[in-house]
Structure 1
Amino acid sequence: MTRRTAELPGLADAPVPAAAEEVPHYHGHRERLRARFAEQGAEGLADYELLELALFRAIPRRDVKPLAKALINRFGSFAEVVSAEPARLAEVEGVSAGVVNDLKLIEAAGRRLARGAIAARPLLSSWSALIEYLRTTMAFAAREEFRVLFLDRRNHLIADEVQGRGTVDHTPVYTREVARRALELSSTAIILAHNHPTYPSVITLDHA
């Protein structure tokens, strides 16, 4: 059968219908991922998928799965991505200032949630809550930190302060400053904690 479409005026120049255009492979992916999160929660998602959800706001019209996987490959986990220093995050291709801000906001929110979880309970009677809180606040820091938790007479948290920051394997601590701050806050007990970005690690206690 001979085609005669060329004889129909204007048909050859008609635009291709939208339905005939190639559909991107990630079409509908965001909606499906959001639905899975709503149904299953964070436990139903891999780290890179949870990170994708975090990237949606800063990158509204692009497939963010490759970037999410690149970040996980670079830093190791969701927690380590959001805890990474802004300068290191910016080294990853595709990470804009908006992405960095959103990731650091998630980190700050996580720390506030962790602090809220222990604020109303005695720290010394809830070892698991204490460990989880310290893990959230300092486990993924790139440098040594010496942190002091000041408690009241009921062992409730008064203040959480970083008394010293050092290098990847060393941080100085001045016991006089720790004692002075405890007196200022009328603290009756303190918890001392530090992280180990690399091993071996050294804390120097200076009595001066």
Structure 2
Amino acid sequence: MATQGDDDERSFFSEAPVRQATKARQAPTEKPHYLGHRDRLRERFASAGPDALPDYELLELLLFRLIPRADTKPVAKALLARFGTLAEVLGAPVGLLQEVKGIGPAVAIELKVVAATAQRMARGEVQGREILSSWQQLLDYCRSAMAFEAREQFRILFLDKKNALISDEVQQTGTVDHTPVYPREVVKRALELSATAIILVHNHPSGDPTPSRADIEMTKEVIDAAKRLGISVHDHIIIGRKGYSSMKGLLLI
């Protein structure tokens, strides 16, 4: 004998609609437009080489792996518009990189890793080699290491009796327009490394590599202190975004 509860239950299930398991048709999804562009750009890089690509396209290629699911062309162009050149993008501080739309902390750090790798490669070109015969490689290394620093750095290249690079050290870091240099400390470190010659290098964050009067006077003080102990100062190079100056080449020392 059915109870009222049984009737209610039968009624509930009898009135429930029968749901058939049907597989929803999914509309075919189109690939993002930038994927084809990425493939074409990679192919052009592989077939024609890096010289066939302008800076923004090389930067795009780099950003492909750092920003995998977005169109990187606007980001690459925004970076170049903000900093000027590919070298200046890689040389920019992390904080400034993140001011560009599309660049977060992770991407900014990865760009700095690329910059550090390039500097290591440039240093490898001069490490242990006779510096005076590898002058252009030396300048390329110094520019990659210092040209885009926001503060002045005073760097010393210590050389052995064959003018091969023993060590490259940043001795002092200063402000945007001044770095304190202590000739005694320069000579002391040269003696510790058994260096017989040194090359002084510092950067001008203003971008203009023209030596100042203070630069010239400081260099002469270092030359005098080093000369007493048989250490030669081959040159003092000033690095800027607009190029470099050689005090020896300018006949200032």
TM range (shorter): 0.7 to 0.9
1:92 aligns with 2:92: no
The residue that corresponds to 1:192 in the other structure is 200
* Separation in 2, partners of 1:60, 1:27: 10
1:131 to 127, 131, 139: 139
1:16: Cα distance to partner? 6.6
The residue that corresponds to 2:166 in the other structure is 158
1:139-154 aligned at under 5 Å gives the runs 139-154=147-162
1:46 aligns with 2:86: no
SS in 2 for 1:173: coil
* Separation in 2, partners of 1:189, 1:43: 38
The residue that corresponds to 1:116 in the other structure is 124
* Separation in 2, partners of 1:58, 1:125: 38
Q: CA RMSD in A?
A: 2.2
Q: Percent identity over the alignment? A: 57
> Structure 1: which amino acid aligns with 2:121?
L
1:40: Cα distance to partner? 2.2
- Superposed CA deviations along residues 94-140 of structure 1, whole A, max 9, x for unmatched, are 11122112111111111111111112420022222221221121112
The residue that corresponds to 2:86 in the other structure is 78
Larger-Rg structure: 2
> Structure 2: which amino acid aligns with 1:172?
P
The residue that corresponds to 1:58 in the other structure is 66
> Structure 1: which amino acid aligns with 2:154?
F
* Separation in 1, partners of 2:35, 2:109: 27
1:15: Cα distance to partner? 4.6
TM-score, structure 1 normalization: 0.84
Give the total of aligned pairs.
193
The residue that corresponds to 2:182 in the other structure is 174
> Structure 2: which amino acid aligns with 1:54?
L
The residue that corresponds to 2:76 in the other structure is 68
Structure 1: give runs of 5+ residues left out of the alignment: 1-13
1:103 aligns with 2:102: no
Instruction: After superposing the two structures, state which structure 1 stretch, 118-127 or 44-53, moved more.
Output: 118-127
* Separation in 2, partners of 1:82, 1:157: 26
> Structure 2: which amino acid aligns with 1:142?
A
Instruction: After superposing the two structures, state which structure 1 stretch, 65-74 or 114-123, moved more.
Output: 114-123
The residue that corresponds to 2:230 in the other structure is none
Mapped contact 1:142–1:197 kept (Cα < 8 A): yes
Mapped contact 1:54–1:102 kept (Cα < 8 A): no
* Separation in 2, partners of 1:40, 1:156: 37
SS in 1 for 2:42: helix
- Superposed CA deviations along residues 23-56 of structure 1, whole A, max 9, x for unmatched, are 6442411111111111222211111111111111
Mapped contact 1:146–1:192 kept (Cα < 8 A): yes
SS in 2 for 1:190: strand
Structure 2: give runs of 5+ residues left out of the alignment: 1-23, 223-253
1:35 aligns with 2:46: no
* Separation in 1, partners of 2:89, 2:59: 9
* Separation in 1, partners of 2:105, 2:128: 36
The residue that corresponds to 2:241 in the other structure is none
